[in-house]
A and B are shown apart, each in its own frame.
Chain A
C-alpha cells in the first residue's frame, strides 16, 4: 500500500513538474518579448546617449525586474565605460533599491545571496545600511563574504574595521577576492595598517600588490623577505618578481643557499633580471640544485638572458651532472 501511495505521489509530482515546465515556457516567451522590446531602448539610452524616460523604464513586476536586471547586468559585466556605468548606477539606486531591499530580507538564502550580488554589481549605496542590518542577523559565511565585498566597493572604512576585528574569518582566496575591488589608494591605506590584519589577509595584500605590479612597494617587500614566516618571504619574492623590479643582488644572495627550495626557485627567477656576468655564478650553482624545479628554472632563466645559450653550451661541455645537462640541452635546442 505504502509503495502504491509513493508511486501515486510521485506521478502527481511529475504532472506538477510538467505543468511547471509549461508555465516556465510561457514565462520564457513573455520574458523574451519584453527583453526584445526593452533592450533596444536601453541600448539607445546607454550607448547612443539618447534621451529616455527613466520612470517608464522602471520595472513594475517580478518578471520586468528580472529582465531589467539581466539587461543592466550584461552592460555592467562586459563594459568598463564609466559614463554608462554611472547611468546604470543612478537608475539602480533610484528604481531598484526597494526590490533588492525586499530580497535582502527574504527567508530564502539563495534570494538574499542574489540580492547581495546585485548590490555589489550595481553599486547600490542605498542598501549599505540594509547590509549592516543583515550582517547583524544570523548570516551564513557566504553572506558575510558578500557583505564584506560590498563594503570593499562602497564602504571601505567598514571593511577595514571588520577585517581588523575579525581574525581568520576567511580563506586566503576569499581575502583576495575582497581586495579585487579596492582602489590602489585604499590598498595603500591597508599597507599602512598591514600588521593589524589577519595573517591570511596579509598574504592576500602582498599578492594583490604584486599582481598590480606596483613598484613603489618594493622596499616594503624587501622588508618582508626578512620575515620569520617562510610563506610571507615567498609571497614577497614572488611579488617583487611580478613588479619587474631590477633587484639589488646583495639583498637576495642568501636565498641562493636557502633550505627551502621554493625560495631558491624564486630567487632564480629574480636573477634573470640581472646581466649574465653578475648572475651567472649563482645561476650555475642553481643549475646543479638538488631540486629538479630549481635546476629547470635556472636553465630557463639563463636561456632567456642575452648570451645565455652560449653559457649553457659551455656548461654542457664541462659539467658531469646528467640532469642539469639534460635540462640545459633542452633550452639550447629551443629556437635553434
Chain B
C-alpha cells in the first residue's frame, strides 16, 4: 500500500514538474522572441512613420465604438481622449447599453447631444435601439441609446451604425494616447488589407494623473493589488502577444483597445452576444472564418500604442474580473474545440489552441495542484521533499523571475516608470507574487473553470472609480 501511495505521489509530482518545465520553456522562448523584436526597434525614431500616416490619402477612416454600461465615472475622460486623437478621419459612436446610472445624462450635458433620426443598415442582429443622438458641438460624435444586451450586443449595434471600413472598439474606462490609433492602424494600412485586425498595448492608469482625457503624468499606484496587475499586464503583453503576433497566432487582442475591419467582422458574424469573453471569441471566429475560407489574412498585436485602462483596486472586483476572463477563455476554446490539433486550421490549430488549452485553460489545475503538492510534501517523506523544493523553485522561476525579466525588458525599452524606486518596487512585488497574488488568481481562475462546467453565467458588475481627480472631468 505504501509503495502504491509513493508511486501515485511521484506520478503527480512528475506530471506537475513536466508541466511546469513545458510552461517555463514556452514563456522563455516567447521572452527571447520579444527581446529580439524590441532590440531591433529600440533606437528607431518611431515618430517618423506616424507622420507619414497622418496624411489622409494614406489612412483609412475609422469608426470608434465605445460600449457604455454604467460608466459614469470614466466615460467623459474616454470621449475627451478620443476627441484629442491625431487621426485624419474618425467618428465616435457611444453605445449606451441601457445604463442605469447617469452615464447618458453626463454625455448629453457635456457634448450637447440632440436627438436625430438616422437610418442605418442592420447587418448584425441586436437588441432594439431606442434613440439616436448627434453632438451639436462635434458633428462626428454619436450617442445610441439601446436596450441592455451586454457589451457584445452594444458593439454589434455600433458596428451596424458605423460608416467607415474599420472600427475601433474601446472600453468606456479606457484612455488612448493621441497617436495610438495611427500606430495601431499602421500594420493594417501597410499590408494592403492583409492584416484585418490589430490590437494595441494596454497599460494600467491607476495612480497616474489624468486630465481631460489625457494621461498627463504616469505614476505607479500605491495599491499592491494594482502593482501586481501592472506586472501581470506587462508580462502578458511582453511575452505572449509580441511573439504570438509574429507568427499570426494571436487569439486575444484586448477588448480595451483594438481595430477590426468591419467587412470581415460582419462576415464572421460579429461579436457573440451571449459570450462572456466577447473579445477573444471574435478573434477566434475571425481566424476560423479565414482558415475555413482559405484566406491569407493576419491578426496582429502592436506593442507600441498605449491604451490606459483602469484596474480593479479591490479583491472582490478583481476576483469577478478574473473569473469572467477565464470563463470566457474556456467558453471560446470549447465552442471552437474542433480547431484543436486540426491541421486544417494551420498554426492556429496546431500551436495556439493546444497552448491555450494547456497553459491558459488548464494552468490553474496544474499550478494549484503544485501548491498543494508542495504543502503536502513537507509532511511526507524525503523523496517528496526534494520534489517539493524543486517544484517551489520552478514556481519562483515561473512566477517571479520571468516577471522581473519582462519588467527589465520594458524598462530598457522605454522609460515608462522612470524612477529607480518604481522599478525596484515592481521588482520587489514580483518576488512576492508566488506567495499571495499567484495563488489568489489561480483560485479565481479555478472558479471560472467551475462556472463554465456548471454553465453559470455571471458577468459581475465592474465598479469604476474613474481616472480623473474629482472636479476635473466629472
Enumerate chain A interface residues (CB-CB to B < 8 A).
Answer: 3, 6-7, 10-11, 13-14, 17-18, 20-22, 24-25, 77, 108-111, 113-114, 117, 171-174, 176-177, 180, 200, 207-208, 211, 292-293, 296, 326-327, 329-330, 333
Contacts and interface: CB of A to CB of B under 8 A. Distances in A.
A98 B41 CA distance: 24
Given A3-B397, A211-B57, A330-B119, A17 B412 contact: yes
B51 interface: yes
A219 to B, nearest CB: 22
Given A21-B415, A21-B420, A113-B45, 12 more contacts: A6-B397, A6-B401, A7-B400, A10-B408, A13-B408, A17-B423, A21-B419, A21-B423, A109-B40, A110-B41, A177-B52, A211-B57
Interface string B32-74: 0000000011111100100110010110000000000000000
Contacts of A208: 57
B57 A114 contact: no
Contact of A7 (B189, B401, B408): B401
Contact of B190 (A174, A292, A293): A174
Contacts of A171: 190-192
Contacts of A6: 397, 401
A173 B192 contact: yes
Given A3-B397, A21-B418, A211-B57, A110 B119 contact: no
Given A113-B44, A171-B192, A326-B119, A14 B57 contact: no
Contact of B44 (A7, A114, A173, A333): A114
B69 to A, nearest CB: 28
A18 B400 CA distance: 19
B117 A114 contact: no
B427 interface: yes
B121 interface: yes
Interface in B379-394: 393-394
Contacts of A110: 40-44
Nearest to A117: B48
B405 interface: yes
A10 B415 contact: no
Main secondary structure of the interface of B (DSSP, over half): helix
The 7 closest A-B pairs by CB, nearest first: A110-B44, A110-B43, A171-B192, A18-B420, A117-B48, A292-B121, A330-B119
Contacts of B41: 110
A17 B414 CA distance: 11
Contact of B189 (A108, A173, A200): A173
Contact of A207 (B57, B118, B404): B57
Given A110-B43, A180-B55, A326-B119, A24 B397 contact: no
Contacts of B394: 3
B284 to A, nearest CB: 27
A200 B40 CA distance: 29
A77 B40 CA distance: 26
B192 A111 contact: no
14 contacts: A3-B393, A3-B394, A3-B396, A7-B400, A10-B404, A17-B411, A17-B412, A21-B419, A111-B43, A114-B44, A117-B48, A292-B121, A293-B121, A329-B117
Contact of B43 (A20, A25, A108, A327): A108
A151 B398 CA distance: 50
B325 to A, nearest CB: 28
A200 B52 contact: no
A230 to B, nearest CB: 15
A7 B43 CA distance: 28
Contacts, number: 88
Contact of A177 (B58, B118, B423): B58
A289 B52 CA distance: 38
Interface-central residue, B42, B48, B401, B418, by most chain A CB under 10 Å: B48
Interface residues of B, number: 38
Contact of B119 (A3, A17, A211, A327): A327
A172 B190 CA distance: 8
B58 A176 contact: yes
Nearest to A146: B48
Contact of B117 (A25, A77, A293, A330): A330
A320 B264 CA distance: 33
A208 B57 CA distance: 8
B424 interface: yes
A30 B221 CA distance: 30
B415 A24 contact: yes
Contacts of B190: 171, 173-174
Nearest to A149: B52
Nearest to B419: A21
A232 to B, nearest CB: 15
Nearest to A6: B401
Contact of B45 (A17, A117, A327): A117
Contacts of A333: 117
A173 B43 contact: no
A108 B40 CA distance: 8
B192 A200 contact: yes
A18 to B, nearest CB: 4
Interface in B300-316: none
Nearest to A25: B418
Contacts of A326: 119
Contacts of B411: 17, 21
A7 B51 CA distance: 42
A77 B57 contact: no
A72 B27 CA distance: 44
A13 B406 CA distance: 12
Given A21-B420, A21-B423, A110-B40, A10 B412 contact: no
Contacts of B40: 109-110
Contacts of B121: 292-293
Nearest to A208: B57
A333 B238 CA distance: 52
Contact of B57 (A20, A22, A176): A176
Contacts of B118: 330
B401 A10 contact: yes
A211 B43 CA distance: 34
Contacts of B419: 21
A305 to B, nearest CB: 20
A66 to B, nearest CB: 11
B43 A114 contact: yes
Interface in B179-195: 189-192
A98 to B, nearest CB: 19
Contact of A296 (B57, B119, B405, B423): B119
Contacts of A207: 57
Nearest to A330: B119
A208 B405 CA distance: 47
A258 B358 CA distance: 52
Nearest to B189: A173
Contacts of B192: 171-173, 200
